[in-house]
Chains A and B, each alone.
Chain A
């Protein structure tokens, strides 16, 4: 079977999602704390600290500029790290996937369930962050609430990216490579803390083509400012298409790794 065989799935994949949700809820206090604290730290350090030297950026205050980026970054991190380190631990150390595929669940459903859970984590994080950021008056309500469903879609994208790396990593330490070589640059150069337009033109194109976060920031910023960018639909289409392709790829790579 190839790398792009479309997986057959049933609603049983939600059982896998449900298992991960149960584990998450067991320690919900610890899990709900970071998305609450993180925006505060960034807003004080960068928004109100560093940002006090910046009068206006793109016609707005600096905290207002970075607020949607903070949400986008949280969406990225929560799904990506869940489906890399989290999934790898479940797959390799805990043998959870082995136990699951001995039941009527198929490996395709196990991976799909993991990705759905990664996306759900992004949704939860975004949902907790929104009121914190809204308390500073940095986002336009109610339009910004659309970020909640959007977080699931964008989270799914990063979950699929993470799962592809998990499927090919030789060991857990090697997952540091995508984390540092892909996630960190994305964190900095995706129109997050300064406008993409400041980058040289060719670099901008590279960012748009290869850094998914640029598209996600494009959407969250349109929503928090209630000012849709001209590229809104383009961002959405990019995210949907790439998510679907990487989802299929992740499932196939994982099947190749685990079904021998």
Chain B
């Protein structure tokens, strides 16, 4: 569906996407994770044919993004990171006007719009101006807008950014429903639970490069193990862990021990070192993410 090889994007001197290669298969949900500024949006924009690549190859539906932008865009649905609904129109008109950019015939599209508004649960709002929608409603409307041309591939750049848990769950359900219809989905997100829940495969990017790719649970097993024990950070714990030879990282005031045998670690910490405040939990994608991308905040 999408094949990128040695894809690069340079803004003047700055390299935003640095020689990445990846393949998205038909029918899967493929995720891009990464800290702020990792190059996720830049990659999405190259796939969408709105930002030209600097070098490398990129094909979507087997077509080159440089030579066939119009054909690719005709089959693509896009939820951009930044909302860009048209404030001069109502909810319904937004979808209608957008459908005209795809040159869709007017009469059937009105039925499609009604169905899409039902799908994202915005039918009652159809005559409201955009400014009267909440953030979650805007996001849902943009998702509906992305579906107007019955796309084969959906690009979702942080589809649930700034949404409450209910709205996020709703969007997740919709994304799963779309996948069930055979639509391929590429999404970016900062929510690890979202990625773990939705993505068949994902990549973690940082500084324009892809650090790892794989299935979410496989990545967790490979980089973290099955379990985590969090303990209070103090010199005695460190000494104790060093003695037992456990793998651990320090995150602020907690020590994070990676293990496949949490009981043993807990027993060791409690019995041999006599410590309190210990929690054991299953390893998550967030642990992989933090381990790989480090602690430093990106500016």
Contacts from A to B (Cβ < 8 Å): 12, 15, 18-19, 22-23, 26, 94-96, 98-106, 259-260
Given A15-B100, A99-B80, A99-B84, 15 more pairs with CB closer than 8 A: A15-B101, A19-B100, A22-B89, A95-B82, A99-B85, A99-B98, A100-B101, A102-B50, A102-B73, A102-B76, A103-B102, A104-B70, A104-B73, A104-B103, A260-B11
Closest-by-CB residue of A relative to B146 is A102
- Identify A102's interface contact among B11, B48, B88, CB under 8 A: B48
Known: A98-B80, A102-B73. A23 touches B88 (CB 8 A): yes
Q: Please, could you name 7 A-B residue pairs with CB atoms under 8 Å apart, sorted by A?
A: A15-B100, A22-B89, A22-B93, A26-B88, A95-B82, A101-B50, A102-B80
Over the window 1-38 of chain B, the binary record of Cβ atoms lying under 8 Å from chain A Cβ atoms (1 yes, 0 no) is 00000000001000000000000000000000000000
B149 neighbours in A (Cβ, 8 Å): 103
Interface size on B, residues (CB 8 A): 28
Closest-by-CB residue of A relative to B87 is A94
Closest-by-CB residue of A relative to B97 is A19
- Identify A15's interface contact among B70, B84, B88, B103, CB under 8 A: B103
Q: Please tell me if B121 contacts chain A, counting CB pairs below 8 Å.
A: no
Q: How far is the CA of A128 from the CA of B103 in the complex (A)?
A: 32
B51 near A260 with CB under 8 A, answer yes
Q: How far is the CA of A101 from the CA of B73 in the complex (A)?
A: 9
Q: Please tell me if B78 contacts chain A, counting CB pairs below 8 Å.
A: yes
B103 neighbours in A (Cβ, 8 Å): 12, 15, 104
A259 near B84 with CB under 8 A, answer no
Q: Please tell me if B69 contacts chain A, counting CB pairs below 8 Å.
A: yes
A95 neighbours in B (Cβ, 8 Å): 82-84
B99 shortest CB reach to chain A, Å: 9
Known: A102-B48, A103-B98, A260-B51. A96 touches B86 (CB 8 A): yes
Q: Please tell me if B262 contacts chain A, counting CB pairs below 8 Å.
A: no
Q: How far is the CA of A206 from the CA of B48 in the complex (A)?
A: 47
A101 shortest CB reach to chain B, Å: 5
B73 near A103 with CB under 8 A, answer yes
Q: How far is the CA of A105 from the CA of B98 in the complex (A)?
A: 11
Closest-by-CB residue of B relative to A95 is B84
A96 near B98 with CB under 8 A, answer no
B97 near A94 with CB under 8 A, answer no
A69 shortest CB reach to chain B, Å: 33
Q: How far is the CA of A22 from the CA of B93 in the complex (A)?
A: 10
Over the window 47-89 of chain B, the binary record of Cβ atoms lying under 8 Å from chain A Cβ atoms (1 yes, 0 no) is 0101110000000000000000110011010101011111111
Known: A23-B88, A98-B84. A106 touches B11 (CB 8 A): no
A104 neighbours in B (Cβ, 8 Å): 70, 73-74, 101-103
Known: A99-B86, A259-B52. A106 touches B70 (CB 8 A): yes
